[in-house]
Structure 1
Amino acid sequence: MVRPRLKIADPGDVYLPNGGGNGDGYEPPPYYPEPPPDYPTEEEPTDPVPGTTPEPPPEEKTIGTGLLLIKLTTFIENLLIRIGV
């Protein structure tokens, strides 16, 4: 069964029962419906397929400080050779 869509009232909308004009001056507040339940509000965790093991995340490759120092020194030496110092 399809639920009918409800119009969300704007702040300026005025509710007039039966076309209004009952003279009592009462206007109920606008109706703001709850969000429909078929739209998830949070991320739902995905379960792995039974019988399979999830793969661990790939390890980040890091460069050691010694290797970084060697590469930096080599770069600076090559740069100084190019500019002719």
Structure 2
Amino acid sequence: LSTDRDTVDKLLRGIWQQTLTPDQRRSDLRLLELQEGANESDIRRQYRRLAMRHHPDRGGDVSHFQALLAAYQRLTV
């Protein structure tokens, strides 16, 4: 096989994103304060912004921060 790592990563990301139901995706985007159609760069940028605001070391709520992280991971797998 002559498949490079980027191609395999894109393939795997596509498979995992297909396993998210549309409702789960909308819910995760809503939690990250994003609109449908946000690309991976938008998701990453918004997650970082919200993570800085809600991080427990900065006085944020642990459960909300964990929910942000889980949403980010599901959307960018």
Bin of the TM-score, shorter chain as denominator length: under 0.3
Which structure's residues are more often helix, by fraction?
2
| RCO comparison, higher one (Cα < 8 Å, 6+) | 2
Which of 1 and 2 has greater Rg?
A: 1
Q: TM-score, normalised by structure 1?
A: 0.24
Q: TM-score, normalised by structure 2?
A: 0.26
